[in-house]
Amino acid sequence: MTNLFKSHPKLSWIVVSLLAIGGVVATLEATDTTYWLHDKPQTYTASEYTKGATDSPGTSETSEGTKTSTGSSATLIKPTGNFVSSHHVTNSSNIASTCNSTPGATCQITFTKGGVTKKLPSRIVDNGGAAYWSWQTSDIGLTQGDWKVRAVATLGSQQSTATDALVLEVQ
């Protein structure tokens, strides 16, 4: 066999190249980087119902494609979650916020310093029980200092508030 490779050096390069390519493909497939030889596994974020649910409980779509409120008899859950992903930020910091509550509720995160209150836009809690924001302090005009962070969830006539144990320190 070695005589075959010695007499045909191109053949040895072809065999080595094919083995190297096979090794690379096997590694890529084993680490789920490529999906040439197997199907891509189904992945979920927080749950199969979160991050982008288009309808929330308490709404229905009419034949014209508009959404109307159907009311809710659900009990409002006090908001929880990572109201801010970091409590020490600058004006250019990227921040992620999450508010967990009853699906269909409206959640808003507020920031108060002295007599000034700033708010993230209200979001409807999705079917998985969460509302999400990705933002920067400059987006809502937070200035330097310590801001008290609260989440307010509303469902019909029910309202519940939770205060973050730590302040948001903008540097």
pLDDT digits (tens, 9 = 90+) for 95-136: 999 999 999 999 999 999 999 999 999 999 999 999 999 999
97 vs 49: which has the higher pLDDT: 97
Percent of the chain scored above 70 by pLDDT?
78
CB 80 within 8 Å of CB 125 = no
Name the superfamily (CATH) of residues 74-170: Immunoglobulins (2.60.40.10)
- The model's confidence at residue 32, banded by pLDDT at 50, 70 and 90, is confident
Q: State the pTM of this model.
A: 0.60
